[in-house]
Chains A and B, each alone.
Chain A
């Protein structure tokens, strides 16, 4: 079943077709969300919301882009919105902590997510995620799609609505920036 047939079937109410769609794309959506939000539980919740959105907006899908490109865009937008909301929530929480209400920031879920990992790996992971998060938004998205999804530059250009040259430049700069930020951390650790 190609993309158009799949979309037509889902719109006509075929549940089996929607299940096929979810199963075909769930790994790519989960990887994309994970690459941007870094927390397993958050990434899973977001991936579910992505497919809820896909289901509801399916009638509005125009076949001028590939289905996977459209789903990538939804996953990226959801993840970026989640990150922005999270920043806002953290800000409010810090105000509450300052004014004596609420609890101080607890360690993130990630620390308990992977009990099998050693402390060193945990610190490395936090450092790496912080470095990725500090990249400018477009560099972060391009880098994530390239690293987590192994997407070719041309596909990233389609998803982000940019030219191939812009994507090449974004990813190159993202890698240089990431490297620089990590070097700073290594030097601080010495």
Chain B
């Protein structure tokens, strides 16, 4: 067999457009899941037993079941009892919930890695609580979690491909459509894999630059 990329060249704009859909659902669910993750973390760190129990259960259930099954539950399961979401919304909701459990754990690890002495030092220097929180806990905390968050962002981006299974028109489902249209199987999937790889490499690179620029002290 011979490789011939000429047939799939005209489809490159379609692929790039689909890649944007993948990036876009990742961005939204990463942001929304991040905010939800903060609340899950706060519930876990709170003094209330019921809240701790809830967030622990939430985290364990999400982290021990596949995203695909979670999407099936949202798309087909809720659909069967009259709560209908289109594929885009199902993927956004599923990825947001999924991401929130992982980011909650990342926040927990990052905040607990800030030594207690630092906070006490802030207080001892006469800094009001909001200043201590912002400069002494939050900033080093974010620096601690940035590599883990980047990793989670890349993982989430890669798992956005699962959206294709419930017919979201993102990169993977577009690749499958193009494969059956052009029958240039090897070429289509190699180019697709390369697009995914280049995007995640760019994300990792961007994060390293941010780390250098935003956290110099």
Chains A and B form a bound pair? no
Chain A residues within 8 Å of B, Cβ to Cβ: none
Chain B residues within 8 Å of A, Cβ to Cβ: none
